[in-house]
Amino acid sequence: MKIFVDTANVDYIREVNDMGVICGVTTNPSLIAKEGKNFIDVVKEITTIVDGPISAEVISLDTEGMVKEAEELVKTINNKNLVIKIPMTPAGLGAVKQLTAKGIKTNVTLIFSAAQALLAARAGATYVSPFLGRLDDVGQTGMTLIEEIVEIFDIHAIDTEIIAASIRTPIHAIEAARCGAHIATIPYPVIMQMTKHPLTDIGIDRFLKDWETVPKD
């Protein structure tokens, strides 16, 4: 399973990219809003940091508007790694069909059922993003959705990649990997939590203390 970072914060992106653990970035309007900066400037900056898929979302709700926005983004950002995030609606599916025909990569977002994932894949989506944390929030088991989509895509040899999204904990990331998600898009704090284990810290302390007792000439 590949790891993307789910943020629009360029400092966080730079840090996890330098750690060598991520190979893509997902943003959304809420993450962009948090940064208080111009959308295009932020996405352009991200493209200078990470050489991998970078998702930027449209905000139009009609097919024509989504396609227009996507084409403008492609033109303005002018980077091979740009992926257009499209919301999972009938109009969104129409936009995915048109963008796919034009060779523009798409990430269908806000997927909450296997039926939605199947339709998005059939419309030509490069990626689908099932939101597991938000399902957990409303009392459904998000991980079951990942399992279902993995199973369906496997049976039918669908090459759309599954991005496990709305990840809240390291356990979400590990379970998504066990279920066979191709990618997990993980917030920066969760990636940092994943680096930690108390026994690692205790081990380092012990090695350093023991090292002090080694005779030095």
Catalytic residues: 85
Select 118 or 164, whichever has its Cβ closest to ligand E4P.
164
User: Among candidates 42, 58, 46, which has minimal Cα distance to 22?
Assistant: 46
Amino acid at 205: D
Q: For the CB of residue 167, give the shortest distance to ligand E4P in the complex, in Å.
A: 6
Q: What separation in angstroms does the CA of 110 have from each of 43, 81, 87, 156?
A: 20, 21, 6, 22
Q: For the CB of residue 131, give the shortest distance to ligand E4P in the complex, in Å.
A: 5
**Cα 128 to the center of its chain, rounded Å:** 10
At 137, list the tokens. 């929030």
Select 131 or 197, whichever has its Cβ closest to ligand E4P.
131
Select 17 or 166, whichever has its Cβ closest to ligand E4P.
166
Are the CB atoms for 158 and 108 separated by under 8 Å?
no
Q: For the CB of residue 26, give the shortest distance to ligand E4P in the complex, in Å.
A: 4
Footprint on this chain of ligand E4P (rule: CB under 6 A): 6, 26, 28, 109, 129, 131, 133-134, 165-166, 185
